Amino acid sequence: MITYSSRNDVPEIEKWKLEDIYNSQKDWEADVKAIEKIADVLRSYDGKIHDGGTLLSYLTESEKLSFMFGKVSAYAMLQVDIDTRESSAQSIQDRAKQLGVKISSSTAFFMPFLLSLDESTLKAYLKEEQGLKYFEKNLLEAYRYKAHVLTKEKEELLSQLGEALSSPSHTYSMINNADIKFGTVTNDNGEKVELTRGMYSKLIEDQDRTKRKEAYKAYYQPYVQLKNSIASTLAAAIKNNVTTAKIRKYPSALEKALFSDNVPKEVYENLISTTKENIAPLHRYSEIRKEKLGLKELHQYDLSVPIVQGVEQKIGYETAYSTMLNALKPLGEEYIKILDSFKNARYIDVRETPGKRSGAYNLGVYGVHPYVLLNHHDDLSSLFTLAHEMGHAMHSHFSHKTQPQNTAKYSIFVAEVASTVNEVLLIHYLLNQETDETMRWYLLNHFIDKFKGTLFTQVMFADFELKTHEKAEQGQPLNAQVFSEIYEELFREYNGDAIIFDEEVKYGWARIPHFYRPFYVYKYATGFASAIHLADRILKGDEKTLASYIEFLKSGSSDYPLELLKKTGVDLTSPEPIQNALKQFSDLVEEFSEM
């Protein structure tokens, strides 16, 4: 594994080219000033929109502002994530957030105004001003929110609280990325060194159980120590969600979170109930893992190590990229050609460096291109992460190139489909290419673990979110003890009795940043189930499914997410896609048990 002590040591080709957004900080500053002026102009429309022409003028200026602010905020975010310790980067991100608050305040009048119009009046505006045709879908969609939009004064007040309401998430991010200090582990020279996330992801898969346990204890040490502080931020975030839902007259925080995607709560509830009804194969897998590893006791630090021993794959970044391209050939020439071009265009920030944001993500910047953050570690897990994030990047590319600005941004609900299709195609490619039986067993084990992490674990997290929000809605207290009790109970329910529960297990909630994005994680599971269906059809050479899938990638938000998926043959309003995915998991576990 290549490690870097400084970002300066990383080759330029493996770093983002932020100049594609702005050539210099001076250009960024110019757009900030321009946005401030446009925001003032938009505010001046308050009370003055009386015909289609004025409405079109407002909407045109608003879209222009949205385009510029997308670049301003993306540039600030990417600067911070390069090094979360850098105060100058934090400063420009703070300015971008304050600018966002000003924009919200300046435009807060618009939605209450729009919903105060009779629908017949709006349709008359649309008829008299042809330019409004571009905005028609968005304008009519606004009426769906009528019951949840407040008065102009209240909307403006709520917008001014935006930064304060996001404070718990920001505080947790600073704790988790900039300030956290993990415990120490013993390196190969017998020296004690501070654990990093990158080291942890390697050590928790080490065949040496002593190393795994040591890394596990060191990793959880700060989360246990900071449990009360982190519980305070999480409780505040949950209460903010609940309070905002009440203010906006939603039946629950869950239904507020699902509303924009037009997803009925039954989809969320059925995901959890269907998974629990089919949990037995996961419990069976825990038993198999314990047996195959030859352990008297199975602990949480034994759940990530490959069961097949003596198999190590070092996969450099160059090899990983070419392997990914070969694996994704079933998606067609156009897809591969575009994806191949991303690598040398510096769309990807590849290496882990001190202070860099952990994990991986894709950020599509409209009018520019996707930016992908990685912390690549030259292993199989990093290869899958690469394929996953480039699925997001291709989704952004296709939607941004095909859709106009107002429908170019796809919903998070469908985002995980594109990324997971790539992962499923990759594992099938690797299994088909591999002739060594031991390596095939290793890959099958990896697929089962990926399946477990992307579906079962995310459903468990979704269950945790639902239970904690329901407690807040019932006025019950939320603190470290409550979170730990709920998390431990769910961990036992989902993982079965084969696992010994160390003290650290119940503090798992403290390390999950996704909990600060309410009711997000369930989309990994629905996305995975959808991807299983689509990848299976594509691998069988179903040209109709392939064509509909590429169209899906180009669709942005041109329709509701469930409807976009139905066009590819996936209907998530029925339990069938979840059941089919869980059946495949059961088959994989059965096949693995016989090897």
H or E element that contains 349: strand 348-349
Which among 413, 442, 459, 417 is positioned nearest to 562, based on CA atoms?
A: 413
Q: Are 67 and 366 in contact (CB under 8 A)?
A: yes
CA distance 396 to 406: 14
**Alpha-carbon distance 98 to 77, whole Å?**
13
Q: Could you tell me which residues come within 8 angstroms of residue 136 by beta carbon, excluding any fewer than 6 positions away? A: 126
d(CA 467, CA 242): 12
What tokens appear for 12 in the block? 């330029």
Q: Which run of H or of E encompasses 192?
A: strand 192-194
**Residue 503 carries which DSSP code?**
G
Pick from 10, 66, 4, 57: nearest CA to 34: 66
Active-site position among 389, 423, 465, 504: 389
Say if residue 118 is exposed, middle or buried (CB neighbours under 10 Å; 0-12, 13-18, 19+).
exposed
The H-or-E segment that residue 137 falls in is helix 136-142
* Residue among 154, 137, 143 nearest 114 (CA): 143
Specify whether 156 is catalytic: no
* Distance from C-alpha of 227 to C-alpha of 61, rounded to nearest angstrom: 46
Please check whether residue 195 is in contact with residue 181, taking contact to mean a CB–CB distance below 8 angstroms. Answer: no
Task: Answer for the pair 381, 201: CB distance below 8 angstroms, yes or no.
Answer: yes
Catalytic residue numbers read 389
